[in-house]
Structure 1
Amino acid sequence: MNAVLKKRNCFAALVFTASALSLFHGSVCADECPSEDFTQFLPAFSANAETQQRLTAMTVKSLVLKPTGEHGDFEPQTSGVNSAAFVYPLMVPVLTDKTDGVEVEKIDDSHVNVVDKRAGTSNIKIFNFSRQACWVLEGIEDWSISEEDLAVASKPDMSKAENICFQRAEAFRGLGGLEQYRLTGELFEASLENYLCAAASGDPQASLNAASLSLSGMAPQLETEKVKGLFEAAATTLPEGAMSLSLFYCQGNNLSSQGPCQHPDQAEEALTQAARMGSAFAINALGRAFETGEFVTKDMSRAVACYQLAAKQGSKGSIAHLKRLNTQPAEALKASYCY
């Protein structure tokens, strides 16, 4: 008798929630719902493929990152996907709601998000649950970037793996820079991880980007020796890398430092190296350093020589410096050599 009554009650619930039933697999009878308490529901839901499939909406709101335009930019795109198209299990088992790498966010009494970072910040997934007659998985956000959506080789001097890392780093940094998404911090962290991957063999641009991002405060800060090594790799061919190395020698792993230059000899040498690479910006900066004695050498004749050289390359800063110096005695404009 109780069994019959239970089936009738279940049938009544099914009829009453007909619109809800059209959204997910199987029955929503109380005896088939692992728990109304989400902290107990989550371990049961994630335990096996069958349970996940049964308690997943028929149409799932799916967010994926896709390329836009021809500049390597990505943006999240959302669509409805039939749950039959998924390969189960969708989620790796979560033993408790306090599992390392898993964050449970309660939106309200009927909506909970599970942020899964166990595969790293480059492969974060967010599972959206809503409470019907039971908790139901209704959305999946995949914040990874598929290799299939990346260019074959954006930087010929890199290996395929480094190319993939560099492109992912650029895309994640672009997404984080928009500061529109709840994962902004994680996107910058993913960018740094991928720049480091791309810089593994010493690529100058990847090295510069990794060190700069580390010092930006937007991503985790790397150890001082690591940042120094990255800037040194960047300085081998990039004038902006050598200029960054010069600044690093002065301020160390803290760009907000207001004290005197910590290593003026090395800072001047690195800035001179940047100037030798032909950068008008670096040449102007070297001229200013000679004029003020910011590092080691204070030499007005060399400062004027640098300003004149940079001015020939169109440096507006150097042109302004030369005009300013025109108001001083003629001997102040006597030039020797820049570097």
Structure 2
Amino acid sequence: MMRHPIRVRWIVLLALAALLLAVTGALAQDAPDPNAAITWPPPVYLLSGAVEIRGSANVANMTNYFLEFRELNDNLEAEDTPPIPATLPRSTPVIDGVLGVWDTTLANDGVYELWLTVNISGGQSVRHRVSPLRVENNPPPFAVQPTATLSAPVVTQEPVAPSGTTATIAVASANVRTGDSTDYPTIIALPLNTELPVIGISNRGTGWYQVRLPDGRAGWAAPSVVRISGDTSSLPRLQPPPIPATRTPTPVPTATTSADLVAGNVVLDPSNPTCQQTFTVGFDVANLGSAPTTVSGVVSLVDSRAADGSAQGTTIGGFPILQPGQTFRVNMPLTISTYYNEVHRITLTIDAGFSIPDRDRSNNTRTVEYTLQKGGCP
């Protein structure tokens, strides 16, 4: 039987990474600050669809935190590219809860590292990395699929879920599917705050819930799109239907666009940033095309030491759908506490993840330099 070389390579990498975990107890990361750490998913894990990232972001004097990711090469080393934002900055502390949802469908299938960055007022950012993580939303068509076994029908009593256990749609629109992954077709899309009775939970460990739809049919909802109320400890473990055969995707012509995102003015407030003091980076994002952008977007900011290019701080900001000719100023708070009395370089990039169709990407980056004042730094 022939084996796909990429698939075999990933299996080998998993085995090597698992061996490293057994020896060191953690992969590619030092012991994290428990108040600024990702606890789920663990290293060497396979991800698909929308994934809840769990952990804690509860450091003293925290201004915000955010998640970002970056692709790794075959040697499990980071590519020489800036990280891509997975979430927008949030300022509400999280203790052993959901830090955010990473929509892995916006990334190519491959191996990644995931970063949590916690920015601190008057202090250096705290970062935690989980690596490697495998993203696979489009498995190879030759992947072995479960084979249905024909047998005589057996009449069984339907498991009964605990009375009062409900799932409430927690996003603007959520797909309910025929099985417990995004490989299954959608039955219906339900709006925010729709409440559904819970029948059970998948016995495959995916965390998906089987729910009862308003028309009486049963469907499956991902844990990342619902809020569960009631007792879940005694939910019946249900067997989802066989995974449907993977269809060969039909090539789709590359969409053309008349939107053109352009990097504009950069304003620092105050104009002479001081060590350990938060300042604001204002960045103008303009659409100079003849059509609106299709979705809202993200600006990535990296502060680096000009002498050697080493990163000293990162953050991100968001902007809405922009109409032709519209300009939006993205304001991002930033605190830098290293290398005072030296030149720093701020690099701002519009849509580093290439999620917005853009006519010309050569004008999406802007840099500005400043000298960090000593202030009260030792």
TM-score, normalising length: structure 2: 0.21
| Greater relative CO, 1 or 2 (CA 8 Å, sep 6+) | 2
If each structure's strand is expressed as a fraction of its own residues, which one has the higher value?
2
TM-score, normalising length: structure 1: 0.23
If each structure's helix is expressed as a fraction of its own residues, which one has the higher value?
1
